[in-house]
């Protein structure tokens, strides 16, 4: 009787090549990135280090864990939730399914906020619906003396955001407050800049959303009411009260919402319209206004 062949020893290189092909066969448009992020997570290293570990032989336990993550990814779980993190702007943010996964589109808002805050000394900033905290924490991290208030309706989201603030060394300058938009903000406080990436998906659009988003990201962070504009209406009505004269309002929008959101702000005499900023794909992404 011939002995059974020894089980194949897979190198990092082989595991990656196999997984990338497998993801591609299943129609995953981010096959390479997803495979690398998952394997780096299992091996406990940052993605670039995979390439110096190409000839290593992961243990049976590591391969079993990797297989399990591949299965969950193919079942629709976003990679960011599987590995518990997502890079945004300059920092890596912890995420779980209580928070929207930070999008690179939102970096447009952060860049504009930092530009507007640059000439100000110790500015006060408000982030409504902070989620993972990616906007509030990126601003506090880059503008060293900014004092940021970050609100969210979800206590679970705030727990994630607080851990991110501590991890990035800005917990002493970011105040977290639980509540519905401005209800969480102390009456009488005013800000140099108010930013928000509110939920903006219209209820009728959910069926057509990518399943990764629709079935896994928090509905609370996405659902903008029947026409997707519910939060912009409420923010437009109240933001003037919380802005200092000359203060800025920056609202991330869905790329079809520019005219509607500009019109909502245009109805308010306290605001002077600013430019709409585009994301890296060239689509309208951030509507801006200034308090007169």
Supply the minimum distance, in Å, between the C-beta of residue 199 and ligand GLN. 5
Rounded to a whole number of angstroms, the minimum distance from the CB of residue 214 to ligand GLN is 9
Of 45, 114, 177, 213, which one interacts with ligand GLN (CB under 6 A)? Answer: 213
Could you tell me if 152 and 126 are in contact, meaning their C-beta atoms sit under 8 angstroms apart? Answer: no
Q: Residue 195: which region, alpha, beta or left (left: phi > 0; alpha: psi -120 to 50)?
A: beta
Strand ranges of the sheet holding 124-128, from the earlier edge strand across to the other edge = 174-178, 147-152, 124-128, 191-196, 243-252, 284-291, 271-278
Residue least distant from ligand GLN (Cβ): 200
Stretch that binds ligand GLN, among 13-21, 138-146, 176-184, 199-207 (CB under 6 A): 199-207
Q: Which member of 200, 232, 242, 271 binds ligand GLN (CB under 6 A)? A: 200
Number of amino acids touching ligand GLN (CB under 6 A):
9
Which residue, 124 or 223, is less far from ligand GLN as judged by CB? 223
Site for ligand GLN in 43-102 (CB under 6 A): 100
Binding of residue 103 to ligand GLN (CB under 6 A):
yes
CA distances from 114 to 5, 11, 35, 141, 142 (A): 60, 44, 34, 10, 8
Rounded Cα–Cα distance for residues 26 and 288 (Å): 41
Selected from 50, 80, 222, 243, the binder of ligand GLN by CB under 6 A is 222
Nearest residue to 246 via CA among 189, 190, 186 = 190
22 scored as a contact of ligand GLN (CB under 6 A): no
| Cβ nearer to ligand GLN, comparing 91 with 222 | 222
The residue within the footprint of ligand GLN, chosen from 130, 142, 149, 197 (CB under 6 A), is: 197
- Which member of 35, 116, 194, 201 binds ligand GLN (CB under 6 A)? 201
Pairing of strands 243-252, 271-278: unpaired
How far apart (Å, rounded) are the C-alpha atoms in residues 56 and 143?
Answer: 42
| Distance in Å, CB of 76 to ligand GLN, minimum | 14
**Taking the alpha carbons of 182, 184, 187, 188 in that order, is the dihedral positive or negative?**
negative
Q: Measure Cα distances from 20 to 35, 71, 120, 144, 199 in Å.
A: 6, 13, 47, 41, 33
Contact call for residue 151 and ligand GLN (CB under 6 A):
no
Is beta strand 284-291 parallel, antiparallel or unpaired with respect to 243-252?
A: antiparallel
List residues binding ligand GLN (CB under 6 A): 100, 103, 197-201, 213, 222
């Amino acid at each position: 009787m011939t002995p059974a062949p020894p089980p194949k020893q897979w190198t990092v290189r082989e595991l990656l090549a196999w997984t990338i092909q497998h993801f591609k066969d299943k129609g995953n448009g981010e096959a390479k990135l997803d495979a690398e992020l998952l394997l780096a997570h299992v091996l406990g290293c940052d993605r670039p280090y995979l390439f110096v570990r190409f000839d290593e032989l992961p243990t049976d336990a590591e391969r079993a864990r990797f297989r399990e993550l591949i299965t969950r990814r193919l079942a629709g779980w976003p990679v960011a939730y599987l590995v518990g993190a997502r890079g945004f702007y300059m920092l890596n943010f912890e995420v779980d399914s209580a928070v929207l996964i930070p999008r690179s589109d939102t970096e447009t808002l952060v860049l504009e906020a930092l530009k507007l805050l640059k000439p100000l000394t110790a500015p006060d900033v408000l982030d409504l619906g902070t989620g993972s905290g990616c906007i509030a924490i990126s601003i506090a991290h880059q503008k060293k003396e900014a004092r940021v208030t970050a609100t969210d309706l979800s206590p679970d989201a705030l727990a994630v955001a607080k851990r991110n603030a501590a991890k990035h060394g800005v917990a002493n300058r970011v105040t977290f407050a639980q509540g519905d938009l401005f209800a969480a903000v102390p009456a009488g406080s005013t800000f140099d800049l108010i930013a928000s990436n509110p939920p903006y998906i219209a209820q009728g659009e959910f069926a057509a959303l990518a399943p990764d988003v629709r079935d896994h990201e928090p509905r609370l962070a996405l659902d903008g009411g029947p026409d997707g504009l519910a939060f912009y209406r409420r923010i437009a009505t109240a933001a003037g009260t919380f802005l200092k004269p000359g203060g800025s309002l920056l609202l991330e929008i869905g790329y079809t919402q520019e005219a509607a959101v500009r019109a909502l702000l245009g109805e308010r005499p306290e605001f002077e319209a600013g430019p709409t900023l585009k994301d890296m794909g060239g689509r309208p992404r951030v509507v801006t206004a200034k308090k007169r």
